[in-house]
Amino acid sequence: MSTSGDDGSRIDRVRLCALVSSQLNGLNQKPVELDSPVQFDSTVEFGSAVGVIRDGTAWVLLTDRHDRGLGPALLWATHHLASALRVFTDEYADDLARRASFFNFDIKIYDVSSNTPVLTAPNTVEIREISFADELFADFITTAGADLTREHGVLAGEVCGLEVCRVVHDELGESRLEIGVGAHDRQIFQLLHGRTASIESLRKVVHEVASKRVVNANPHPLNQLGRERLLRHLLCASPELIDAVSLEPVPPPSPRANLRDPVPCCARGISSNGDVLVAIFSIGVDPDVVTFGADARQQINPTADLIFVSPPRDAVPPIVQLAKLLYRPSRFCDVNLLDV
């Protein structure tokens, strides 16, 4: 008996066959039978994608988490010794094309949102500034003891790397500060305490979160979220642990979708030998961390040294090898700070 998941996978694999065949027809300038260029049984599912190898080229259709799909596709392609990678995606094609441009590897990204593959060129990142009205809440946040963050037009407050408040806009476009860890928690806080945030309310939240987000603390929901940002927070206070003299948080290359899903975070600083560096912090094996890091360096400082910081177990050989495909070199730094 087939399940909806099985049916979805089959549809994705059939779609990949059709897309690859359409491209091969274009290259050959003559029609070919579907079973000749691409056989359904030769397609495989991996992560949030399906793929097939044809004449040394890896063809991949992203099926979910499109914005973080290039890294897994590259890992799959290199694992199968492909010499080129072609990625089909319904979303974020221009972002993926930008990230692909940092690799010394033959990569092309196709937008298939209209079911007709369109070769996509890299885009440029739009810089969103904090509005004057939103910036007025900065003193409120810092007075309550939270650290300010300014990411992609959003002003927020963090405690040990966990967001505890954010400036949002109501239905009239008016700015207001909401307290809570994530959108759902902010809504609950409003139901219990009203829509107007007070410094005392935020101070209590700051104190509660800070007490849970310390090294060697017992597991708690407040210290299991955003662990990569907790690692960054600790290393910004002790940059010598990664051979740096200074580190400061900087925005990621793209906005976070939520606080729940683990996503790497960034810092810039100065190394002990005086070089500018960009550090990427991650917890857990992240197949897309290299593409994320390359994109971050380009936006923060294209000439900086790039360092990937994670627990030793997370810097697995395939990801380390993938970083060697970057046009500009990078290195990995093992830090066990959250495991002690």
Dump the DSSP string for 73-115. Answer: HHHHHHHTT-SEEEEEESS-HHHHHHHHTTBSSEEEEEE-TTS
* Distance, CA of 84 to CA of 322 (rounded, Å): 14
Q: Which residues contact 242 (CB under 8 A, 6 or more apart)?
A: 235, 279, 307, 309, 333, 335
| Residue boundaries of the structural domains of the chain | 4-119, 132-212, 226-334
Q: What is the pLDDT of residues 146-196, one digit of tens each?
A: 999 999 999 999 999 999 999 999 888 899 999 999 888 888 888 887 777
Q: At what angle are helices 70-79 and 93-100 packed, to 10 degrees?
A: 50
Q: What is the pLDDT of residue 234?
A: 96
Cα separation values, 303 from 61, 158, 239, 277, 298, Å: 33, 29, 20, 9, 8
What pLDDT digit, counting tens, does each position of 224-239 carry? 999 999 999 999 999 9
User: Contact 51/59 with Cβ under 8 angstroms?
Assistant: yes
The model carries a pTM of 0.91
With left for phi above 0 and alpha for psi between -120 and 50, is residue 115 left, alpha or beta?
Answer: left
Task: Give the residue from 185, 264, 256, 167 showing the smallest Cα distance to 222.
Answer: 185
Q: Note whether 77 and 69 are within 8 A (CB).
A: no
In order, the DSSP letters of 208-268 are HHHHHSSTTPPP-HHHHTTHHHHHHHHHHH-GGGGTEEEEEEE--SS--S-SSS---EEEE
Residue 1 scores a pLDDT above 50: no
**CB hemisphere CA count around 3 (13 angstroms):** 2
pLDDT in tens, 104-130: 999 999 999 998 899 999 998 888 999
Q: What is the CB neighbour count within 10 angstroms for residue 43?
A: 22
Q: Are 37 and 54 in contact (CB under 8 A)?
A: yes
Res 38 pLDDT > 90: no
pLDDT tens digits, one per residue of 302-332:
999 999 999 999 999 999 999 999 999 999 9
10 Å CB burial of residue 157 (0-12, 13-18, 19+) is buried
On the CB side of 5, how many CA atoms lie within 13 Å of its CA?
Answer: 4
Q: What is the pLDDT of residues 182-211, one digit of tens each?
A: 888 888 888 887 777 789 999 999 999 999
In this structure, CATH architecture of domain 226-334: 3-Layer(aba) Sandwich (3.40)
Judge whether residue 6 has pLDDT over 90. no
Average pLDDT over residues 78-82: 97
